[in-house]
Structure 1
């Protein structure tokens, strides 16, 4: 089995949107339009298994101090291969390369992020720009049951 991690191009956007579609419909991941994905394409990391797109995530930088793991998804056929953890590790390494001090995740998968070294924080500690730029677009807003987690770098 060959795993390859790479930075996608805009040509990958339709496949990425198809891969994340089910999680968007469930409300687990925010919808990102093709235009939104294109403007942030450099923040994404994709993993393929034997040439097939298996998952992706984005490292979104909020400030010189804080980045966020966004849109983490692994296709159903590829779960159990630890690709999610490897994608989170790729986000952490990318954040470190930029000199970021902390990485945030808003998640329904607390145990998973704990296994990646994250700890829970109060949502009141999340930067205001995160709340107004993303959370207000969520179908669960303002009643959010996601857990805010961070890892210090």
Structure 2
């Protein structure tokens, strides 16, 4: 399904999304018309990071983790009990580093904004069609 947007129009829309400048006289969408989403950087929560770390540790197993790190399995258990992963999570949160499970897909905020603007433009064009697909 094509909406007649050229590569240059897409780049201009992406540029407008980055600059937050309206350009309605050409029919492009502004950030105000885009899909509502909070695009501020998220607050990084050390508890969530610790959860990801401990879930991944459980997933790979303490034994294989210990072998990879060159430590004993009892050291891994002791580290868990002493809050080693909690401290690591706090350090990562302070440094602004997010931990994500392997199935997560990470994209830049600018890319996400551009995709949302294109999706909004597509939905707007679809609704304006005389023979709409019945998405009402």
TM-score, structure 2 as length reference = 0.25
Structure having the higher strand fraction is 1
> Which structure has the higher relative contact order (CA within 8 Å, separation 6+)?
2
- Bigger Rg over Cα: 2
Greater per-residue helix proportion: 2
